[in-house]
Amino acid sequence: MTVAMEVVLLGTGSPMYNAARCGAGYVVIAGETQVVVDLGWGASRRINAAGLQQANVGHLCLTHMHSDHITDIPDFLMQRWTGGATGPLQVYGPVGTRETVTAFQAALRLDVEYRIAHHGEDKLPRSGFEIDVTEAPATPAATHVVTVGDLLIEAFEVDHFPVVPALGFRFTRHGRTLVFSGDTGKCDSLVEASRSADMLVCEAMNRGMWDGLLSVVRTRNERGAAILSDVPSYHATTIEVAEMARDAGVRHLVLSHLLPMIPNEGPGLDAFTAGMSEIYGGKITVGSDLQRFSIEM
């Protein structure tokens, strides 16, 4: 069977550090095309661990400007350049992407100059460190961003208020569809963008487990608990994710950006998805870093 797309989960975690789960990040592989979606802390090194190379990635999609989705951009830019890239990285994201990415690029200016002075521009052409940014409109319906070969990339607005704008992305190739929610609460735009999708990679919060974490934190860090108590207001619960996947008719639901972060194996997996299968009848996978999925034609 021919593969339409593959997706590698680089990071399935959240802002809180965890040894097993890096910050948000994914690679979409469509033939010779490789697209990264988000680059949270640790995600760049996961590219190598997945057997891929940063230099072969020509496109980066960013869902929003929260730190756990962007802080590995500087490392990725440098590793891509020194790894052999000779052409600019194409970057797509919401308004604010240009400001963020060019600031990361500027912070590395001295490093770039030192390396060119040492190795020469014939070995490290400046063009491999350049970026081209396209800021996509935040629209309720999925809107065309770019077509790379036979891979169609579309973006749509999600509800991560007060983070405005925030995007989800939809990838289509050979009639197959892969959707990334980005960070969001329950919203109609994600349901519409995910209609009959072969796979939806969606953030998820288990509210009961989160409240349990909150009660523990409150005993030793009241300020930290106060911050954590705000988090549920802009994330979808596991039950809401199941409802959206059901309403959209998604074939395979992959949970990522897990809140709270849980071990990769053990009873916590079943506890995290409790009640979801009663709502959504399709396949549910609790994602882990470096998992790889194929969407066949």
Q: Which residues of 233-264 are buried (b: 16+ CB within 10 A; e: fewer)?
A: ebbbbbbbbbbbbbbbebbbbbbbbbbbbbeb
Q: Are 75 and 107 in contact (CB under 8 A)?
A: no
Q: Are 134 and 146 in contact (CB under 8 A)?
A: yes
For 232-235, the CB contacts below 8 A with 24+ separation are 232/205, 232/207, 233/185, 234/159, 234/160, 234/161, 234/162, 234/163, 234/183, 234/184, 234/185, 235/183, 235/184, 235/185, 235/203, 235/205, 235/259
172, two tokens: 């289509």
Whether 68 is a known active-site residue: answer yes
CB atoms within 10 A of CB 205: 25
Q: Are 290 and 49 in contact (CB under 8 A)?
A: yes
DSSP-derived 3-state class of residue 203: strand
Catalytic residue among 68, 72, 75, 183: 68
What is the side-by-side strand order in the sheet with 25-30? 131-135, 89-93, 59-61, 33-39, 25-30, 3-11, 292-296
Residues taking part in catalysis = 68
